[in-house]
Amino acid sequence: MVETSHPGNIGAVARAMKNMCMSELYLVTPKIFPSADATSRASGADDILASAVLCDTLQDAIADCQLVIGASARSRTITVPEESPRICAQRLAVEAQDNKIAILFGRENSGLKNHELDLCQTLLTIPSNTAYSSLNIAAAVQVVCYELLVASSEQVAKPELRDVPLASSAQMESFYEHLYQALDEIGFINPDKSTSIMRRLRRVYHRAALDTKELDILRGILKKSTAILHKKYD
């Protein structure tokens, strides 16, 4: 949960999670926490509140996750793969056997910002009344956790065995910084358009689902390319 403004919503989310056998709650700079309001709304899910992890940044919260899904009700200008909670849960029931997964929920009034969705491989969108699509955050979490519980209780296929693990969010963010630096050095990046270009490049690499060895190869290419460029102009 990112920058939750009302502590009661944190408690309500903890209750929804415990109802559906979920236990790991990460809070990114909540306005107020701990709080008596959170405890009251948790209605017995105090253990989830007590074990909640407070994080200073979203990047810290998801650093060791291989898959990051952002919950969003708003359409975006750059196309991002979207899934319903049911389809997403069925996929994650398989992926969770091999990877650490994060599902992000944003602010009560505005959701996740674009630069936060840049960290996500896919978006999760709950079908709702088009004339009144705003869901309370605890209700949204309840829907998603319910689908995860149902999917996890069904017999799921074993994931394809990987010789090398998928790159973590922290590793991918380090790669994007390296990529931006390399593109800047060769004069490809236009400062006025760099955000759009980097956002689209993120989508490309998110779709590729790079493992750590593939990421090392790409970073080696970037390092070698910029070294040649520096040597040429030295």
CATH number of residue 98's parent domain: 3.40.1280.10
Bond from prior residue into 7 cis (ω within 30 degrees of 0): no
Helix (H, G, I), strand (E, B) or coil at 20: coil
Are 144 and 31 members of one domain? yes
Are 12 and 94 members of one domain? yes
Domain, as residue range, for 139: 7-153
Is the pLDDT reported for residue 10 higher than 90? yes
Phi and psi (nearest 5°) for 2?
-105, 120
Tokens (6 digits) for 189: 């990046």
Is the pLDDT reported for residue 64 higher than 90? yes
Flag whether 162 is in a domain. Answer: no
Is the pLDDT reported for residue 159 higher than 70? no
CATH at 198: 1.10.8.590
DSSP letters along 125-168, please? -----TTS----HHHHHHHHHHHHHHHHHS--PPPPP-SSPBPP
Most confident of 145-149, 157-161, 185-189, 225-229: 145-149
Is the pLDDT reported for residue 104 higher than 90? yes
- Check: pTM over 0.75? Answer yes or no: yes
- Choosing from 104, 123, 153, the residue where a domain stops is 153
Phi and psi (nearest 5°) for 140?
-65, -45
For residue 234, what pLDDT is reported?
A: 61
Mean pLDDT of the chain: 91
Rounded alpha-carbon distances, angstroms, from residue 53 to 75, 102, 166: 30, 13, 24
Helix (H, G, I), strand (E, B) or coil at 104: strand
